[in-house]
Amino acid sequence: MKWGVVAHGGAGSPSSLSDGPAAAAAAAGRLLGGGGGAVDAATEANRVLEDDERFNAGTGSVIRMDGVAYMDAAVMDSEEGCGAVAYLTRTRNPVLVARRVMETPHILLVADGALDFARKCGFGDYDPQTERSRSRLEKGLLDFKNGKRPEWPRNWKHYEVDTVGAVAMDARGRFAAAGSTGGTFPALRGRVGDIAMIGCGIYAGRNGAVAATGIGEEIIRKVLSLTVYRFMEEGMSPQEAVDRGISLYDRSVSVGIIAINRDGTGIASTTEMAAAALTD
């Protein structure tokens, strides 16, 4: 394979939404086919999914209980390092801001600092809320009022945790991973998930790239993306590595993983997960 890309729409996203990741992979594939870099391709795939309001990232992100959408995003390149933002508000494409953080001496900017940085980079004010995300919030708040709250943190199945992500390999053999999310509902104020924690939600190195989706706390506990990357370094194919990663979880825990290396791609999830792979 000369180049490749895999994109997903989040653990729990129905396969009927596969056209979303397929469009994201196609956009990334156009860049890769034209000689573009893996990091630009993985970023572009996430940008397409952030702009698709059916997914929990960018436009359509989950609105937290205080009525605000707080978004996390991260980008990692096998040679140029990584960048991330967490708790970012009122910005259309958090993944593009994370990409700009990668160009600074820092790795992670949060909350007001991330927002200031985004504005200084020219990303304007944007309300990511949609009719659908607002009605989801209303239903969630009503459930809480009526005592239908999940047995936090034991019954994670009820949480909204889908995230978008992509991994890519370019024609020069460089790897990249990127992810973006509106996080979970419900969540305590200040909560940051796996995506902004490098090695947990995403990882890219000289031998491949991995992106995870699902319950952030579960992903962080196992440093999942780095763990799956190590499986590939030990000789597993991407599919074997993601299957092994998924086997670390009980089936009731919502987690998905995608991976790529020079030998191919892998996709696995404990739940339904809209995803697409494109290779040349």
| CA 210 vs CA 8, 24, 50, 248, 259: distances in Å | 12, 17, 19, 16, 4
**Total residues binding ligand GLY (CB under 6 A):** 12
Task: Name the residue with tokens 């991976």.
Answer: 259
Using CB under 6 A, which residues numbered 216 to 245 contact ligand GLY? Answer: 216
Is 194 one of the binding residues for ligand GLY (CB under 6 A)? yes
- The answer to the question of residue 177 lying near ligand GLY (CB under 6 A) is no
40 or 194, CB closer to ligand GLY? 194
Q: Least distance from C-beta 161 to ligand GLY, angstroms?
A: 5
Nearer to ligand GLY, 32 or 220 (CB): 220
Gyration radius of the chain over CA positions: 17
Say whether residue 256 binds ligand GLY (CB under 6 A): no
Contact with ligand GLY (CB under 6 A) among 213, 225, 261, 270: 213
Active site residue 59: no
Least separation in angstroms between CB 215 and ligand GLY? 6
Classify 207 as helix, strand or coil: coil
Which DSSP letter does residue 61 get?
Answer: P
Nearest residue to 210 (alpha-carbon basis) of 273, 152, 268: 268
Phi then psi for residue 109, to 5 deg, are -115, 140
| Phi-psi group of 133: left, alpha or beta (phi > 0 → left; psi -120 to 50 → alpha; rest → beta) | alpha
180 binds ligand GLY (CB under 6 A): no
Catalytically active residues are 163
